[in-house]
Structure formats: structure tokens, C-alpha cells
Amino acid sequence: MRLHDLKPRPGARHRRKRLGQGEASGHGKTSGRGGKGQTARSGSSIRIGFEGGQMPLIRRIPKRGFNNARHTTRYLPVNLEALNRFEDGARVDEAALQGAGLANGRGAGIKILGAGELTRKLTVSAHAFSASAKAKIEAKGGKCELIIPKSPQPAKAETSKS
């Protein structure tokens, strides 16, 4: 089999629906748009959830309770096994992990998890550690340094001289 022999699986490709090709086609006259009205017009689009001015379902349903998920701290996870790519005795911090492509994306910080085995002595600097990860790093003679995020300082009020 060669590249020029490849074909899509049967049923994977569909014919384009040809609208307005006469009554016999089954898609003539109104071309699948029904009869008259706002949605029959060209350029018409109604935003998702709009119900013609009626109070939309999403606003009719009562919203109750507290959801703790909105207030959680989301860390970027990094497993211990992945730290074996660094040299023995190296300092592994946020910049080193991002440079190695291990902690990409948006998060409140980096959390080191204990999956896998560590084979090197490392100084690891992260925002959080699982208990098993901390134990495994320290068992190899390494260090765990916790990064404490800076809390925002209130703006100082200007003192006016009178």
C-alpha cells in the first residue's frame, strides 16, 4: 500500500446537500428553510439561547448553592519520573520545568506529584508537593523548596500635608 492508494473509509465522506435545484431534488422551493419568517431570510442568525424575547430557559432555572470548584487552586502537575531528565545535583525551578516543556499552560503554580521513581539528587523548587513526592526527593538526598506566592499588597494612601 502506498500513499496514492489511501482512500477515506466508506461513509466517512458525505455529498454536499445541493439546495434550490428544483422541486424534484427534494430540496427545491424553500431549500430546507421552511416557510417564511425570520430564519427563512438570508443573513439571519439568532444567538444561542435566544427565545424570541421570552425569558430564556437558562434564566428561568433557579441558581442555588455554593460551588467550591470556582475557588480552587489549579496547579500544573509534574510527575517525579519526568524530573529524571535533569542532571544530577541540578536545581529544578519553574523556569527549568517550562524550558523542558513539562509545565506549560495556565495555572496558579506547579505541583510535583509522586508518580514514578526519581533516580537523581535534585533541588526542586515548586508551589506544591505531594507527600509521596517530597518523601522520594528527600530519600535521594535532594531538597524541596516551597515557592510562596506573593499576596497583593494594598495601595498606600497618599498623605497630604496641611
Q: Is residue 39 part of a domain?
A: no
26-69 residue pLDDT tens: 999 999 999 999 999 999 899 999 999 999 999 999 988 888 88
CATH label of the domain that carries residue 119 = 3.100.10.10
Q: Is residue 53 part of a domain?
A: no
Q: Is residue 49 part of a domain?
A: no
Q: Is residue 113 part of a domain?
A: yes
Strand-strand pairing, 109-113 and 143-146: unpaired
> Do the beta carbons of residue 33 and residue 40 sit within 8 Å?
yes
Q: Is residue 129 part of a domain?
A: yes
> Do the beta carbons of residue 96 and residue 86 sit within 8 Å?
yes
Domain count, the chain: 1
Q: Is residue 84 part of a domain?
A: yes
The structure's pTM equals 0.55
Q: Is residue 107 part of a domain?
A: yes
**Cα–chain-centroid distance for residue 29?**
45
Domain that holds residue 126: 74-146
Q: Is residue 115 part of a domain?
A: yes
